[in-house]
Structure 1
Amino acid sequence: MAALTVRYFAGARAAAGGTRSEDLEAETLEELKQLLTDRHGERLGVVLKAASFLVDGLTCHDQKAPLPADATIDVLPPFAGG
């Protein structure tokens, strides 16, 4: 299981109860999204469905790809006007 640092931005931070970042373990983005929804509730789950994810600064589209150990995952919800 990969140790990860998850950082929340904008609406994702608000949906996570104001949490800026947290350390978790997950193998894939799919697993991470479920873990975060279970931990913070369906409000964050809805945001995660529309969010983009950066894995160590690179966009990741494959929700089932293995995450590297000690990766930083940025959760970026859709931004208005962008």
Structure 2
Amino acid sequence: TTMCIGNLRSGTVSVVNWLCHREHHHLRAAGAYYYVIFCFVIGAVIGNALAPVTGLFTIAGCTVLLMVSWVILHFQHRKSQHTLDELDQF
């Protein structure tokens, strides 16, 4: 809930900035914030539907998905750091 409220605020600020300044990056940022909220809601709905069937193992599924997300972000960060290190050599 805290995550959604913060993202909702940031997304709405980005929409207002886009309406005022018509800079495209504000609209993209708003879309990213609302996409995160959408994914959170979809995950909550799926988790709620699976909880009666899988019981506490539903939480384990969430943990696995979070670990996969962390691995993806970790390797993206390492790749971007590697690119930055190559640029520093010039």
Give the shorter-chain TM-score range: under 0.3
More strand by share: 1
More helix by share: 2
Bigger RCO (CA 8 Å, 6+ sep): 1
Could you state the TM-score of these two structures normalised by the residue count of structure 2? 0.23
